[in-house]
Amino acid sequence: MIKVMNSLSKKKKGILFILMAAFSFSLMTFFVRFSGDVPTMEKCFFRNLPTVFISGWLLARSPQKFHIKRESYGGILMRCVFGASGMIANFWAIDHLALPDANLLNKISPFFAMILSAWLLKEKPTRAEWGLVFTAFAGALLVIKPTAGAASLPALVGLFSGFGAGTAYTFVHKLGLQGERGQVIVFCFSLFTVLLCSPYLIFSMHPLTPFQLGALMCAGFAGAGGQLAITAAYQAAPAKEISVFDYTQVIFSAVWGFFFLDELPDRWSVLGYIIIGAVAVVKWRLANRPGGPAEAAAGE
């Protein structure tokens, strides 16, 4: 396997890693849903616990250990706050929406990242990119299905999860420009989320059956694999070349939902998937034109 990976170009490595990340994250959301009636904070705790140990072990073996650049403190805090709030919202939405719907609303995050990058990083989008952002939101509205001028609460929470993730991705990109290590960002985010959820477990822990604990631990290891894979993907190749493949998570999730959860998305949701998927492809093609802009790179 190592020989095969070494023989691939950087772009092909990036594509392979991001497909692995999409597959892993789809499994994570499936196991979170499959764990059943478990409070959201407990799900977030067990989702991040394996990542703390895995990323911490990798850092302990690295030459720089747990060193954090002084200029990274603020960016890491913002990444943790928005990333954790986005994850909590995403997990809550997973329990109240069809699995592919919740994942797709979370995957609107690259477009939030573009908007925020224009403000925080002065990376000005073109008119075509702004048009793509609004088209993507139109696709999201087909999934949300607002009625009487207001969307359902679960769908709005799912959309907020995309905002939280997109904001976190913007700070990840900023930290990358500052030269901070990806494993440091992953470790700090996972540790922050574990500590944030710990008081709930101490005072109001919901007793878990062996099946539920097993499902949540599977979600944790799948999530750890997804975070490490997506970090490797963006280290191997520019985001403009590979980011569109991240949307395969929606397809994987739809497969798990169809075969194991008896979920069949309606025609409006399917149309929303098609629109956002098409926008992602167009955005990727524009980014790959000579002189085209690159997307911000980030992990979940």
pLDDT of 125 over the 80 cut: no
Least reliable range by pLDDT among 155-164, 180-189, 282-291: 282-291
Across 204-211, average pLDDT: 87
* Segment 249-298, tens digit of pLDDT: 777 887 888 888 777 778 888 888 888 888 878 877 776 665 554 443 33
Please check whether residue 258 is in contact with residue 29, taking contact to mean a CB–CB distance below 8 angstroms: no
Report the alpha-carbon angle 115-118-120, nearest 5.
105
Is the model more confident about 222 or about 270? 222
Give me the pLDDT at residue 60, please: 93
Mean pLDDT taken over the chain = 80
Integer Cα distance of 83 and 175 in angstroms: 14
Q: What is the DSSP letter of 206?
A: P
Residues 6 or more apart whose Cβ sits within 8 Å of residue 121: 170, 173, 174, 177, 296
Integer Cα distance of 209 and 141 in angstroms: 37
Give me the pLDDT at residue 59, please: 93
Please check whether residue 46 is in contact with residue 216, taking contact to mean a CB–CB distance below 8 angstroms: yes
* Segment 5-16, tens digit of pLDDT: 556 666 778 788
* Segment 50-62, tens digit of pLDDT: 999 999 999 999 9
Give me the pLDDT at residue 239, please: 57
pLDDT of 300 over the 60 cut: no
Please check whether residue 297 is in contact with residue 231, taking contact to mean a CB–CB distance below 8 angstroms: no
Give me the pLDDT at residue 117, please: 76
Helix axes 40-60, 182-204, angle to 10 degrees: 140
Residue 194 in 3-state DSSP? helix
Please list the alpha-helical segments (H only) found in 35-126.
Answer: 40-60, 73-94, 99-106, 109-120
Please check whether residue 81 is in contact with residue 170, taking contact to mean a CB–CB distance below 8 angstroms: no
Is the model more confident about 13 or about 193? 193
* Segment 79-111, tens digit of pLDDT: 999 999 999 998 888 888 877 777 778 877 777
C-beta neighbour count of 134 within 10 angstroms: 10
* Burial class, 120, CB count within 10 angstroms (exposed 0-12 / middle 13-18 / buried 19+): middle
Task: Measure Cα distances from 111 to 114, 141, 152, 165, 204 in Å.
Answer: 5, 14, 21, 10, 36
Across 113-129, average pLDDT: 76
* Burial class, 202, CB count within 10 angstroms (exposed 0-12 / middle 13-18 / buried 19+): exposed
Integer Cα distance of 245 and 17 in angstroms: 10
Residues 6 or more apart whose Cβ sits within 8 Å of residue 70: none
Least reliable range by pLDDT among 117-126, 147-156, 216-225: 147-156
Residue 150 in 3-state DSSP? strand
pLDDT of 74 over the 50 cut: yes
Q: How confident is the model at residue 160 (pLDDT cuts 50, 70, 90)?
A: very high
Element (DSSP H or E) covering residue 283: helix 267-287
